Amino acid sequence: MWSRTKCGRALLDYFPFKRHFKAMKQYPRDTSSVLNLVLPDECRKVVETLFPSGGPLPKRDLAALADFAGALGIGAEYRRLMGVNRDTEEMGKFLGHFQNNLDLLIQKTWVEKTDESRKEKLQDKIPFFMALIVRGDFGQAIEEFGAILDEMAYLLFGKQNSDDDFTEYTFRIDIEMGLFWWYGSRLGGQDAAGDDEFLWALLLIGICYLTNF
């Protein structure tokens, strides 16, 4: 499961749990100053192409999404899956792997005893999220996925009331990891009107990343 490694160690070995982090929803979604502050130079072009000025809404540009997936290290699989019909057995197997990986990630997250109920509630959200994908309700699925990632940020990293550098810190741990959480912080508030292909493409980035996490 922990396929993303650094110097032979799983990335989660580098996370000082309960320090430096707070949930993504507490970070501004629409300020270019945040983009300029935390974004590594090697990510700037691909991010600014997809999210102009660091704002919350991405451009409706499938090529920019594919480039963004490439920057996350999932470009080849992402492009392959974009060519797979969502009602095929192949896609069903892939989504099954994603669901299993997400469930396992939540199960293996260490939390204080008082937070065990939050883990259970988060796991209860997954079947509903998967049902949204199956029926093609990608607008609501993206909102639900953003909420899932918010809660995962809390379970993985805890609260830190005095720090405002969640994204910056994750970029310092690993550029791909930081870019993923930056992406996750901008999933809310997407305009779902008549653009299922783009919304699915946007959602698939996060699904691919966590399937290979």
On the question of pLDDT at 13 being above 50, the answer is no
pLDDT digits 0-9 by tens, 128-144: 999 999 999 999 999 99
| Res 164: pLDDT | 62
What tokens were used for 140? 């609501």
Amino acid occupying residue 14: Y
What tokens were used for 194? 């008549």
Q: Which of 1-10, 11-20, 31-40, 123-132 has the highest mean pLDDT?
A: 123-132
Confidence class for position 195, pLDDT limits 50, 70, 90? confident
d(CA 55, CA 108): 33
Give the predicted TM-score (pTM) of the model: 0.78
133-154 in b/e form (b: 16+ CB < 10 A) is beeebbbebbbbbbbbbbbbbb
d(CA 28, CA 197): 27
